[in-house]
Structures are given as structure tokens and as C-alpha cells.
A = this chain, B = another copy of it.
Amino acid sequence: MAARAGVSVGTVSNVLNHPGQVRPATVEKVRAVIEELGFTPNANARSLAGADSRTIGLVVVDLRNTLFVDIARGAQREAAAEGMNLLVTNSDSDDSLQDAHLELFESARVSGVLLAPLSDPAVGVQRVRRHGTPLVVINYDTGREDCCTVLVDNERVGHLAARHMIELGRRRLAWVSELGALQPVQQRQVGVRRAVREAGRGVGLTEIDTQHVDGSHARTAVERLLAVPARHRPDAVVAVTDLLGASIVQELQEAGLSVPGDIAVMGCDHDARAWGGAIPLTTVRLEGEEMGVAAVRLLAEEVAEGGGHVHRTVVVQPSLLVRESSAGRVPVPGPTTTRALGSTRRGV
């Protein structure tokens, strides 16, 4: 068809893939020939992205993190229910890889893209939107009005965590986290501060910067805790991630302190890979599956409604998951019958 349109094969490819880079007259000429031959861009897209063109792509930042596995799983379930295929790529916390994966999905002509980024994905989002591909951003509030967004209420995550420690009677809280620019981290910090403020006098907050959200700097954080005389030392640590929380538990134990006896510890992000330690870790459920389901629903709406689609933001609510690292070992319940008797007696 290149010969018939009197242009190079590369130009035909550009018309199909990057029409903005080709002179409008040439685009017209090539498109006319393509249409005459029955190779409309649409028919082409169908052959690329599967039999029915109902294939969507999901780019996640870190497939080790349970949140993103849960998002992928929820998205996959909902996609299957809607008769769509889901392709997943893992950008492994690498922004340039994330952009490459968005390009890959663009060139594969998927029906829509789900993106769960680490930091502001402005460049990638702009590119996808420019091509008119439906897009939903997950777990990052872009502040944009040209795409749908699914968020977990991260301020509530921090608030739930800190309030839990306060309700357990802890009075000297430590927020241990990277204190930099990561959006979910900042929002959790706002929630922690609010819970401490609401508790009023008698409850205090120390903030310790670990520079990373994983457990790599747990030892330094624990050294800072231990440098404080015992009676002023924090009696509760809220760590921004379960990885960091689990590492802090381990460091505290190796330093001879008991968890939660001396210091209660919890994570904030329901990350199962951190749960292999000696003491089950209290955390906050982020409801990733629910986020994945919501994202595919928004995307399917946009695919179906086209230009008439009104972008929305869905916010999923987190919930507390109490385990031994904050509340202590829960007594092993006796047999069911005994328990029933016991409560009858107490009830009398």
C-alpha cells in the first residue's frame, strides 16, 4: 500500500502510529489507500490487541508490593467479568521503564490503560491522553481533570494508625518514614498529625526521617529511638510501610526491647511480604482489590461512552488490621463450647 500511496513504508507506519508527525495531506492520501485496501487503523488495532480489541493494559510500579498485586488481581477479575483481557507490566519503581510500558501499550493499541505510578506521572498521562486513549490513574492524585482516578484515603490510613496507638494507651508516638515528597507518604503523615492533635495534651509526636520507605534504614531509626532516655522514649512507632515496621520490630528485639511491651509497632500498607517476622504485624488494609475493580469500571465506562465521558475520582476507605505487634498476643481462644459458657457466665 506504500507503493500505491506513493510514500515510503516508514510514512505509512507513521500515519498509523504517530499521525501527528506526518503532513495532513500525506495522512489523508495514505488513509484513503489504507481504507480502499480494507486496512483501517481500527481493523489494524483489532489484530494488534486481540480478537475483539477489548484488551486493557495495567502499568504498576512494584509487583512485589501486595497493594499492587491486589490492584492487579481486582482489575483482572473485573476485566474478565466485562469480557476484557488485562495485560500487566511492572515498572519496578523505574520512571523510564514506566514510560516505556505506556508506549508499549500505546503501540499495541489497547482499548485503555490503567496506571499505578510512584510519583507524578504527568508526562506519561499527557502522552496517553493526547492519543485519546482512555486512562485511569490509580493510587496517585494527579490533580488532573482529564482522567479518572482511584485513590485510597491515605490521610485516613495515617489517622487510623495513630488513633489505634492512642486508644491502646500509648502517649509518645513516633512517625517513622521517609519525610520527603512521596504523595501517599505525605498524606499518611497529615493523618497521623491530626490524630495526635485530636488526642490533645498528654499525647506527643516525634517524626523520624528514614529517607527510604523500605526497611533499609530501620537500624538508624531505632538508634535514634534508643538515644532518648527510656522515660521520654516513644512507646509506639507508626511506620509508613510494613517493610519498615517489620524491620523496626526486629531491630528493637535485637536491642533487647520487647514489642509491644516496651514499644508498640505497626506498619501502614498491608504488605504481606513483610509478614514473615517473629511477631505478627499490625497494619492498615488498603483494599487494593477494590481499587482495581473500581479502576476497570471507570475505564470500561470511558471506553463505552467515548467523548461524552465525565471523569471521576473514586476514593476507597482503608481499615485497621490489629495483630500482636501493637495489641500483644491475643489469648488463644478455648474450644467453642467453653467460650460460649464463659460469655453466658459473664453475661449473668
Residues in chain A within 8 A of chain B (CB atoms): 1-4, 9, 12-13, 16-17, 36-39, 43, 47-51, 55, 63-64, 66, 69, 72-73, 76-77, 80, 85-90, 92, 94, 97, 100-101, 103-104, 107-108, 253-256, 258, 272-273, 275-280, 321, 323-324, 329-330, 332-336, 338
Instruction: Kindly identify which residue among B3, B39, B80, B323 contacts A92, using a CB–CB cutoff of 8 Å.
Output: B80
Is the Cβ of A278 less than 8 Å from the Cβ of B69? no
For the complex, what is the distance from the CA of A257 to the CA of B347, rounded to whole Å? 26
Is the Cβ of B276 less than 8 Å from the Cβ of A335? no
Q: Which residues of B contact A90 (CB under 8 A)?
A: 72-73, 76, 86, 88
Instruction: Kindly identify which residue among B13, B55, B275 contacts A272, using a CB–CB cutoff of 8 Å.
Output: B275
Is the Cβ of A276 less than 8 Å from the Cβ of B275? yes
For the complex, what is the distance from the CA of A338 to the CA of B253, rounded to whole Å? 13
For the complex, what is the distance from the CA of A174 to the CA of B86, rounded to whole Å? 40
Q: Which residues of B contact A48 (CB under 8 A)?
A: 47-48, 107-108
Give chain B nearest CB distance to A63 CB in angstroms: 6
Give chain B nearest CB distance to A96 CB in angstroms: 10
Nearest opposing residue in chain B for A17, CB measure:
B47
Is the Cβ of A273 less than 8 Å from the Cβ of B276? no
Is the Cβ of A87 less than 8 Å from the Cβ of B88? yes
Is the Cβ of B108 less than 8 Å from the Cβ of A9? no
Instruction: Kindly identify which residue among B9, B94, B323 contacts A39, using a CB–CB cutoff of 8 Å.
Output: B9
Nearest opposing residue in chain B for A88, CB measure:
B88
Q: Which residues of B contact A332 (CB under 8 A)?
A: 253, 256, 258, 278
Instruction: Kindly identify which residue among B13, B55, B72, B80 contacts A97, using a CB–CB cutoff of 8 Å.
Output: B80
Instruction: Kindly identify which residue among B36, B77, B85, B108 contacts A101, using a CB–CB cutoff of 8 Å.
Output: B85
For the complex, what is the distance from the CA of A272 to the CA of B280, rounded to whole Å? 12
Is the Cβ of A51 less than 8 Å from the Cβ of B103? yes
Is the Cβ of B334 less than 8 Å from the Cβ of A256? yes
Instruction: Kindly identify which residue among B37, B50, B107, B323 contacts A107, using a CB–CB cutoff of 8 Å.
Output: B50
Is the Cβ of B103 less than 8 Å from the Cβ of A256? no
Give chain B nearest CB distance to A340 CB in angstroms: 12
Nearest opposing residue in chain B for A69, CB measure:
B69
Known A90-B72, A275-B275, A332-B258; judge A107-B9 contact (CB<8 A): no
A-B contact pairs, 13 of them (CB 8 A): A1-B37, A3-B37, A4-B37, A47-B48, A48-B107, A51-B103, A64-B73, A72-B90, A77-B92, A80-B92, A86-B89, A256-B335, A276-B280
